[in-house]
Structure 1
Amino acid sequence: MADLSPIDLQKALKGADYPASRDDLVSVARSNGADDKVVDKLEHAGKQRFDGPNDVQKAVFDNG
């Protein structure tokens, strides 16, 4: 999963409204056609709620 980039994550979360729950972000990513590695990273991001895109990126990339 080292090939996941911040740009991939941004594309997957396009149109997300914040604050958002982890489940909401997973749904947005799936509806945006995100691949499994992005969805998996979101599902294991370690937080239940995110205040904005920077919060998501920090949780995803610092978590693993």
Structure 2
Amino acid sequence: MADLSPIDLQKALKGADYPASRDDLVSLAKRNGADEHVVQMISQAGTDRFDGPDEVQKALFGNQ
């Protein structure tokens, strides 16, 4: 996951309305023109629903 930056994630999820499902975030990332790797990482997140961007960050990056 080292090649996925928090900035790339923020760009991919620009305009997200929370709470959001993982599928909603994947669709949004695609609409925002996110790199396929970013889309894949979101789609493989271990959580089905996110209450906010902090939860997405934790799911993808852990407690860095």
Distance 2:7 2:22 in 1: 19
Provide the secondary structure at the position in 2 that maps to 1:45: coil
Structure 1 stretches lacking a partner, 5+ long: none
Per the alignment, residue 47 of structure 1 pairs with 47
Distance 1:40 1:12 in 2: 12
Whether 1:11 aligns to 2:11 is yes
Structure 2 stretches lacking a partner, 5+ long: none
Q: What RMSD, in angstroms, separates the aligned Cα atoms of the two structures?
A: 0.8
Identity %: 74
How far off is 1:20 after superposition?
A: 0.1
After the TM superposition, which segments of 4 or more aligned residues of structure 1 sit over 4 Å from their partners? none
Distance 1:22 1:59 in 2: 11
TM-score, with structure 2 as normaliser: 0.92
TM-score, with structure 1 as normaliser: 0.92
